[in-house]
Structure 1
């Protein structure tokens, strides 16, 4: 009875655990850590959404079991959002299902559509649930390049031609977590054509659709004619409306995939608490000025952090979307890998970041830095990072590595 369970054996040790443990020890020792590791929005949920929740919870009828697929008003609100934002008309009854955040939706769709021996194509690096949702379901994962370009398309084509059995689905996530890449509608047109030709499902994670800093909003793959034949797309209210703890997301698109997800969910949950669903509908249907304010806030933080890192000698690309910087580890420390570098940054600069290895082995040369602290705290983080990178009193890098907590 001591042997590890089969599905648990397929999961590697949680990469973020080492950094999280070191962070907990530092805080227990009363150290002030600037936490830029987890993508956990720090701004409050807009007041009109909170007010709708409070109003709804006063009605005892909302205290009963809800609907697993989402209350009709919420599904209609999501369909309305897609129509306004992307020009995509959805049937709220057959093509939309509410989920407990996009993460739960992806994981349950993996259970619905994959079996042991199936192959799923996933960018590497990518958000962990994209890979491990299918691994937990028993499928195998084949890595793809993470940039939305001809290289990714060619890799998909090769995978279909040379994998036995043929892959079932491909996952895309643009704006991307962690890399912050954005896709164009032209890329999606080619992707849809390729996947329709090879009878391959597209699972699109669009959780960061409203977090962009240019003039052109990121498109939805469902905008492409014919995409609904092969595509389901996941969105989330977590980042758009600063509602991460509310756990409210959606899947939309292909009727067969939505039906499969809806059926699995019907066995597993009764849906989110009804007042949360009512408030989520108010978020989608209500004033959207808070979304523009959210974009401005993250743009200011991005600019401050990128400028400060560059001045400190850490050359970091400026992302055009998402709430993350995907920062290459400075050359002097690159041989440490992302986990050891993250622990070193925590110990010496008092700044927590997410090691790139947690998003796939091809992310080990980077760390992800989340824009989840105010400008005052970002400046504090930059002072610590600058002192760490430019200081001459840290000793040899190898000695620092040996001194890190296990």
Structure 2
């Protein structure tokens, strides 16, 4: 009979971290989400899962699907596409396309990224749509978003033009930004381009509206948005040193507010947090009890360096806690996942880091089985007994 504790916790760790209370960033935005991409740490959430009008920020989903199509060979960068009357009919920010144009995919992508072209989005959408319509592509966008984990996103068109039910959350937009950065590094530099003078036909619309790109703070994307319904918003990213921050917000009253909040948010994320290496790969964090093994315990170690993001100003202490289902049944294989290190820094989400077996623990021999059985029987009848006698590894 094997004794079993469903959640046995080892708390006497040598690992003690320093951390301090960080006051959450106060933002005028209606909704916001900030994450450190390097460590995956969420730094700020404000109404982050509320489905809101995303305005032109939803063009990022059209871009993602266009990049997928290029990668899969369904589109070619120098391929030229026709412009429909429907695409030409859109107002707002456009490339000023008309039905006599045939435009390369590369120009259309830049037209969406730099110029926020509503018409360019529709040309891409109608090309990739299952039924050749923008609405058909919007349904495809919604389905693909769900597959990617964007649970609060529903699309009615390809470009964010105000429409009932066209919604995204700030968390979903940040997730999408992360996918664009990590999955399409060959295309991502386009998001940092500050100007695109397509065909010289729209001198009033050649500049990227992202207010951070010219500030020399590491900003390199991604997309602004504005409608009367949504207010002013931005999905942004910046890299300083080895760290990258991704953020999104919406609901501000002016371009000036958007620029100020964006710069403040980036400054806060980089200045108030820093990376800390808590333990190295293979460094023993704790031990787990082993049942019927040659050794009574096995070391628990991280499979890779544990690097987390913590507040810069350190005052208090944050203790780690190791949680595992135990005792662990022998045999145990080196590198097998056995436990989690749970960290709870103040004002930051709980962090869970997997721990693995430090070494092999084979099944115990005849002597171990006899002594273990004796111990169990003795414990049941309250007569005392011996424990496993073989050495601890």
Bigger strand fraction: 2
TM-score (normalised: structure 2)? 0.26
Bigger helix fraction: 1
- Computing the radius of gyration over CA atoms, which structure comes out larger, 1 or 2? 2
TM-score (normalised: structure 1)? 0.26
